[in-house]
Amino acid sequence: MVGRRVRTTALALAVAVLLVGCAASGSAIPTSTQPAPVQHPHRAAPDPVTVEARERLHAMSLEQRIASLLMLHLPGTDAAAIAAQATRYAPGGIILMGDNTAGGVAGVRAITDAVDSASELPLLVAVDQEGGEVSRLDEDPSPGADVLRGLAASVTDDAFSARADVLAGAGISVNFGIVADVTADPESFLAGRVLGTDPSAAADHVAAAVAGEHGRVLSTLKHFPGHGAAPGDSHTSIPTTAETLVDWRATDAAPFAAGIAAGAELVMFGHLAYTAVDDAPASLSPAWHGILRDQLGFDGISITDDMGMLEDSGVPAYADSSENAVQAIAAGNTMLLYVPSPDPSGAGFDPDAVVADVAAAVRAGRIPAATVDRAALALLRARIGLAAD
């Protein structure tokens, strides 16, 4: 474990040096979500996981591909009912909330086993298990960020390792548990959840948390590009900051760069507006997706924070759930998270309507079909990887 941590720190420092160098030179930041093409005159044959993923993608309709980009909350503790809903909506993943985890690890394991049995491929099963303030499973023995940030980073490594063991034992494959935001403001609603009150300390603990989860569950860094700089609660508003990209690189970027260098598989986009970069929330911003991939080198799964929060913000521009989904996919998100449960009556959140409206946007040319295919392929690869574990 010590050797891995040393290598992680070295990688994080290398990324930090790159970021500072870009800031000093004032080099332009590409906004494309696509890296520059690389010539491979002797390209190796695709790996078996990619071959299988492409075959499965080819057999899927456009609507099935779009549905696979959704992560849904399916309510309750009835394992059979949840599995039936998962079959009905065919999302790529589900998120377990407090109403799903009342039965503890044993109850959750019944749900995850039922969902897996009903699906050709395992779904990505996620939970918010930060420890401390945000915990879904009481069997988690480890402290939260409010305790860990005052201790050595090695303790954070051990804590997230133990936490991940509990989650894996419950059949959970993704933890939305690593808060990479930075704030020293005691009035912030994130004050008790950040792993560091300054960028350097937060980066060390974030990297350690990723190292602890490695090989047990898929790690998620949240809430990119950093909630600490944007005051307010994104559950009820669109927090906004005028922080420049240069300042962001020197501050809020550091924990995300460290977590990416440590191997985090997912990054969660916050509904946060950095107006010096883009007036739109980062979750809907092609510019921020380009920065994440091109500048921080992230090549994993990007997922939005709960899409229902955009509507709950009260901002008229984000009142339409289908339009929000169109913009989120077009911006470059691999997956869209929906915590509001599906409403079969259609009176509330309706995944079928979202899928149909996104498909219409693809057919109208608002979203390139290749964008959907690329995201669906990435998620298929991840799910095939889970099946192989």
Residues 6+ apart with CB under 8 A from 41: none
Here the tokens at position 250 are: 């020197």
Question: How many beta carbons lie within 10 A of that of residue 182, not counting itself?
Answer: 27
What local confidence, expressed as pLDDT, does residue 207 receive? 98
Please tell me the number of Cα atoms within 13 Å of 173 on its side-chain side.
Answer: 23
Residues 6+ apart with CB under 8 A from 158: 142, 212
Residues 6+ apart with CB under 8 A from 36: none
Residues 6+ apart with CB under 8 A from 62: 359, 362, 363, 369, 372
**Strand pairing category for 174-179 and 124-127:** parallel
Q: Which of 269, 271, 270, 272 is closest to 240 using CA atoms? A: 272
Please tell me the number of Cα atoms within 13 Å of 287 on its side-chain side.
Answer: 15
CB 364 within 8 A of CB 323: no
What local confidence, expressed as pLDDT, does residue 85 receive? 97
- Cβ neighbourhood burial of 296 (10 Å; 0-12, 13-18, 19+): buried
Compute CA 183 distance to the chain's CA centroid, rounded to the nearest angstrom. Answer: 20
What local confidence, expressed as pLDDT, does residue 74 receive? 97
Q: Mind listing the domains of the chain with CATH numbers?
A: 2-26+46-388 (3.20.20.300)
What local confidence, expressed as pLDDT, does residue 39 receive? 52
What local confidence, expressed as pLDDT, does residue 42 receive? 62
Helix (H) or strand (E) holding 317, with range, is: none
Here the tokens at position 233 are: 């609660």
Entry pTM: 0.89
Which CA distances in Å does 209 have to 5, 6, 137, 176, 198? 10, 14, 18, 12, 16
Q: Which of 125, 71, 17, 6 is closest to 333 using CA atoms? A: 71
Q: Which of 86, 87, 181, 190 is closest to 96 using CA atoms? A: 86
CA dist., res. 380 & res. 83, Å (int): 19
Q: What is the DSSP letter of 293?
A: I
What local confidence, expressed as pLDDT, does residue 40 receive? 53
pLDDT along the chain (389 residues), means of 10: 38 42 40 44 79 97 98 97 97 97 97 96 98 95 96 98 98 98 92 96 98 98 92 83 95 97 98 96 98 97 97 93 97 97 85 97 98 98 92
